Amino acid sequence: MNKQMKIFSITFIIIIILIDLYTYKGMTKTFPRFLSGNTGLVFSILYFAITAFFIASVIVITQFNFYVRKPQIFAGFYVFAGIFLVIYLPKLVFAAFHLAEDLVYIITKVSVYIYNQIVSGNIQFTRFHYLSKTGLMLALIPFLALAYGMTFGRFNYEISEVRLEMQTLPKAFDGLKIIHISDLHLGSIYNKKEKIEKMVDRINNLQPDLILFTGDLVNNFSEEALGWENIFSRLNARFGKYSVLGNHDYGDYWQWKNKQEKDANQELLLNIYKNMGFKLLTNDAAIVTYKDDSIALLGVENWGHPPFKQYGNLKKAQSFVNGTEFKILLSHDPSHWKSEIAGKTDINLTLSGHTHAMQIGIKLNGFSWSPSKYFYKQWNGLYKHNDQYLYVNRGIGFIGFPGRVGMRPEITSIEIFSRK
């Protein structure tokens, strides 16, 4: 264990202990009748057994060699992180309310004492536990939400249906059906292949003309996608399957021994895309012809604002499609749209992903909110600038927290019709 990791683990363990001790104190003070006798003993044993589990887990995790390219290590780590959030975020909510109650109690008690000393009074103060009880009830919200997100939400696919009318769409392509998916992050999913097979079946049942994937097949290294080729090769579309690379597909978040090792990782990923049946567009374009008409599919490498790198070269991709009227662009990061596309090109439709809608938010009766909106102006759904459109897909997979709360994994079905 290096010095940095040692400091981190010790700090993390101290934080866990402080949270647990303060929360335990709050629970026993707020519910003294319930948490007494045998009931209190059982509660205490279970409570601190969980504390011991997390402390032991932190110690074990810090012994791992995180530079061994084994997807199961990282998938397991994300599960641990999710369980930690499920347990400790509610504790923090309760602790915050209990702290507020403690502060009110201390201030009131001091004030009463001073008053009694000044006027020789005998005012008595009784502590109430309304704030702590409120905190406990509110703590149930993140507990239930996060637990649901981990167990059911992360594979609860939603098919979003979008209908567009565009004047420049060739008549032969009237009613063009595009299935747009993004951000698979197979390293997080690891061994849940039956869940992805379910997604593949749902997509094929929609009978798409095109399947377009906007990147982030893996998290860190290409081995995360090995073994998935047969599943994704089953995806079928009349005019083919196309993809671009996302920011995670370059291996930029991994510590490579040398450039040759990183290049070999990239070469492996390109072969995996090929074996899955995707035509990878890297600052490139493809012309799809049907009957006597054609449309252009452009794909750029990842282009984002710092700290994300800008590998994309839109001008290069455009150079392959001169003369084709209707253009669809695949660009992983939606911030690219406002910077180089909307109002600056003749690209009709841009498809992006990347944001995941932060994997948490609210969608209710047309209202959508997620913390993602404070980081990206275009973070989920359909956006329009004159006759140009952007669609931001929430993604299929997950990274960090192994779940989704309110922002379900998304399969987007876009149907485009010729405007009369």
Considering just the CA atoms, what is the radius of gyration of the chain in Å?
27
Question: Start-end ranges of CATH 3.60.21.10 in the chain?
Answer: 158-418
Q: Are 91 and 63 in contact (CB under 8 A)?
A: no
Among 73-82, 164-173, 258-267, whose mean pLDDT is lowest? 73-82
C-alpha 419/C-alpha 167 separation (Å) is: 5
C-alpha 214/C-alpha 302 separation (Å) is: 10
Residue 364: its pLDDT value, please? 87
Selection from 184, 201, 269 nearest residue 236 by Cα: 201
C-alpha 342/C-alpha 389 separation (Å) is: 8
Q: Are 75 and 190 in contact (CB under 8 A)?
A: yes
Residue 129: its pLDDT value, please? 87
Q: Are strands 367-369 and 362-364 parallel, antiparallel or unpaired?
A: antiparallel
Residue 295: its pLDDT value, please? 96
Band of the pLDDT at 325, cuts 50, 70, 90?
Answer: confident
pLDDT > 90: what percent of the chain? 79
C-alpha 57/C-alpha 373 separation (Å) is: 34
Q: Is the pLDDT of residue 1 over 60?
A: no
* Structural tokens at position 414: 């876009």
Q: What is the pTM of this model?
A: 0.92
Q: Are 278 and 243 in contact (CB under 8 A)?
A: yes
Q: For the segment 137-167, what is each residue's pLDDT rounded down to a tens digit?
A: 999 999 999 999 999 999 999 999 999 999 9
* Fold held by 158-418: Purple Acid Phosphatase; chain A, domain 2 (3.60.21)
Q: Are 315 and 284 in contact (CB under 8 A)?
A: no
Length of the chain, in residues? 420
Peptide bond into 307 cis (omega under 30): yes
Task: List CB contacts of 176: < 8 A, sequence separation 6 or more.
Answer: 169, 209, 210, 295, 415, 416
Band of the pLDDT at 365, cuts 50, 70, 90?
Answer: confident
- The arithmetic mean of pLDDT across residues 36-57, rounded, is 92
pLDDT > 70: what percent of the chain? 98
- The arithmetic mean of pLDDT across residues 404-419, rounded, is 96
Q: What is the mean pLDDT of the chain?
A: 93
Q: Which residue has the higher pLDDT, 420 or 83?
A: 83
Residue 61: its pLDDT value, please? 82
Q: Which residue has the higher pLDDT, 37 or 243?
A: 243
* Structural tokens at position 179: 């299935």
3-state secondary structure at position 284: strand
Band of the pLDDT at 34, cuts 50, 70, 90?
Answer: confident
Residue 66: its pLDDT value, please? 64
Which amino acid, residue 188? Answer: S
